[in-house]
Amino acid sequence: MMKLVGKICSDRIHTKFKIYYLNFIKTSLLVLASLIVNCTSDSLQKTKILFDTDANNELDDQHALAYLLFNGQDFEVEGITVNKTRSGGDIHEHYKEAERVVKLCGLSDKIKIYKGASGTFQEIKENINEPTFDGDEAVNYIISTAKVYQDNKLVLLPVGKLTNIALALYKDSTITDNVRVVWLGSNYPEPGEYNQDGDPSALQYILDSNVEFEIALVRYDRPSGTDAVKAYLADIKKYMPNKGPELLNPIIGRHGNEFSNFGDYSVNLFMNIEEFDDGFDEGYDQARALFDMAAVAIVKNPSWAIPTQIPSPELIDGVWKDRPENPRKITLWENFNKKEIMEDFYNSMENYVLVNSEQ
């Protein structure tokens, strides 16, 4: 009798244990599934960026790149491509400056940099199908990366001349629907501007293509362009020291000296610029426009500028010609909210979230 009671009790305990164990497994699987869904959802909500830069040209590229890399809650960065413009040395110098910024942001093991074009679209396009050509590393990387994006577009964010982007679209037009190009450049409707003049042939090719194309306008000395988004030297000295992750092994900056965080390097870049902007307003003594950073900002928050769609115009010998009957439309970004953009820039430096990390 006692053996029977013992067996019954043992069976009940075993059954209860099995039920408890199964419930535990079920709950654990639900929690795990929830975490996976949340992580996947967060990843899908982030804007995927490929950043194209003439990094060693002046100082706005570096600040745009750091701002991008410090906004991991909003962006995932697929990589960085560099190009050579008339200032800043050869392609290797632009590569090295981009590399410095990536290292100072603590992401050298997560972000790769690819060397792009030194020449212009017109000069290079005839050799585009050769095994090697000027800019092939960057162009081929843009193509291979863009091919993955068929449901959600990859944002190509060039803040220099458009050569690498135009060559990629020319070499493989099947990526056209996979990408959105947001370019920092042009004084439209007025002529001139550094990035535009760097390769007009690349710009015209994109204007005539079917790719989604947006321009964050520069407009030198006008309040409606990114030229209005300026950083004061006094604010840089006040807010930037020691900002960003601290490196164990300091690096040498382009002007010399050792740096172990981006904030200190930012101050050094400002202290070594040849001249400050004259500005279009009083009070801009010792200030410099962060053109490229403003382009990143409006991808992060489109409410910080005003978009206008226009028929794609034509650039003839450096002069804009409107084509009102052109069915192809492009977007112009203007009237940037310089106050909110600069506040967010400094806040991102203070409370950075690194891209492509679990931070």
pLDDT 10s digits, 82-129: 999 999 999 999 999 999 999 999 999 999 999 999 999 999 999 999
pLDDT 10s digits, 290-310: 999 999 999 999 999 999 999
In a domain, 342, yes or no: yes
In a domain, 359, yes or no: no
In a domain, 299, yes or no: yes
Confidence of residue 151 (pLDDT cuts 50, 70, 90): confident
In a domain, 234, yes or no: yes
Contact 284, 277 (CB under 8 A): yes
Which residue range(s) make up the domain with 78?
46-350
Confidence of residue 279 (pLDDT cuts 50, 70, 90): low
Confidence of residue 275 (pLDDT cuts 50, 70, 90): confident
Question: pTM for this one?
Answer: 0.87
In a domain, 358, yes or no: no
CA distances (Å), origin 302, targets 152, 216, 243, 287:
18, 11, 26, 25
In angstroms, the CA 226 to CA 334 distance is 7
Q: Report, as an integer, the average pLDDT of 263-289.
A: 79
My answer on whether 241 and 272 are in the same domain is yes
Q: Report, as an integer, the average pLDDT of 324-349.
A: 98
Per-residue confidence (pLDDT) for residue 150, from 0 to 100 = 80
My answer on whether 126 and 12 are in the same domain is no
Of 117, 52, 318, 82, nearest in space to 200 by CA: 318
Confidence of residue 17 (pLDDT cuts 50, 70, 90): very low
My answer on whether 37 and 79 are in the same domain is no
Specify the range with the lowest mean pLDDT, choosing from 63-72, 285-294, 346-355.
Answer: 285-294
String of DSSP letters for 302-343: GGGSEEEEEE--EEETTEEE--TT---EEEEEES--HHHHHH
CA distances (Å), origin 125, targets 89, 164, 201, 326, 331:
23, 11, 10, 25, 26
Contact 263, 244 (CB under 8 A): yes
Specify the range with the lowest mean pLDDT, choosing from 140-149, 159-168, 244-253, 281-290.
Answer: 281-290
My answer on whether 8 and 148 are in the same domain is no
Confidence of residue 43 (pLDDT cuts 50, 70, 90): low
Over the range 136-175, which residues count as b (16 or more CB within 10 Å of their CB) and which as e? Answer: bbbbbbbbebbeebeeebbbbbbbbbbbbbbbbbbbbeeb
State both tokens at 132. Answer: 């090697």
pLDDT 10s digits, 211-250: 999 999 999 999 999 999 999 999 999 999 999 999 999 9
Per-residue confidence (pLDDT) for residue 39, from 0 to 100 = 41
User: Euclidean distance between the first and final Cα of the chain, in Å?
Assistant: 62
In a domain, 250, yes or no: yes
pLDDT of residue 348 exceeding 80, the answer is yes
In a domain, 201, yes or no: yes
Of 208, 173, 175, 230, nearest in space to 329 by CA: 208
Place of tokens 């960026």: 49
Of 321, 326, 289, nearest in space to 189 by CA: 321
In a domain, 355, yes or no: no
My answer on whether 112 and 233 are in the same domain is yes
Query: Comparing 22 with 314, which gets the higher pLDDT?
Result: 314
Confidence of residue 163 (pLDDT cuts 50, 70, 90): very high
My answer on whether 13 and 50 are in the same domain is no
Average pLDDT, the chain: 89
My answer on whether 166 and 254 are in the same domain is yes
Per-residue confidence (pLDDT) for residue 13, from 0 to 100 = 46
Per-residue confidence (pLDDT) for residue 322, from 0 to 100 = 98
My answer on whether 233 and 146 are in the same domain is yes
Per-residue confidence (pLDDT) for residue 357, from 0 to 100 = 79
Contact 97, 343 (CB under 8 A): no
Confidence of residue 2 (pLDDT cuts 50, 70, 90): very low
My answer on whether 342 and 271 are in the same domain is yes
Q: What's the one-letter identity of residue 359?
A: Q
Query: Comparing 31 with 161, which gets the higher pLDDT?
Result: 161
Q: What's the one-letter identity of residue 162?
A: L
My answer on whether 131 and 260 are in the same domain is yes
Strands 306-311 and 314-316: unpaired
% pLDDT > 90, the chain = 81
CATH number, residue 170: 3.90.245.10
pLDDT of residue 172 exceeding 80, the answer is yes
My answer on whether 38 and 117 are in the same domain is no
My answer on whether 23 and 76 are in the same domain is no
Query: Domain count of the chain?
Result: 2
State both tokens at 310. Answer: 């226009």
Phi first, then psi: give them for residue 13, nearest 5 degrees. -65, -40
In angstroms, the CA 109 to CA 247 distance is 13
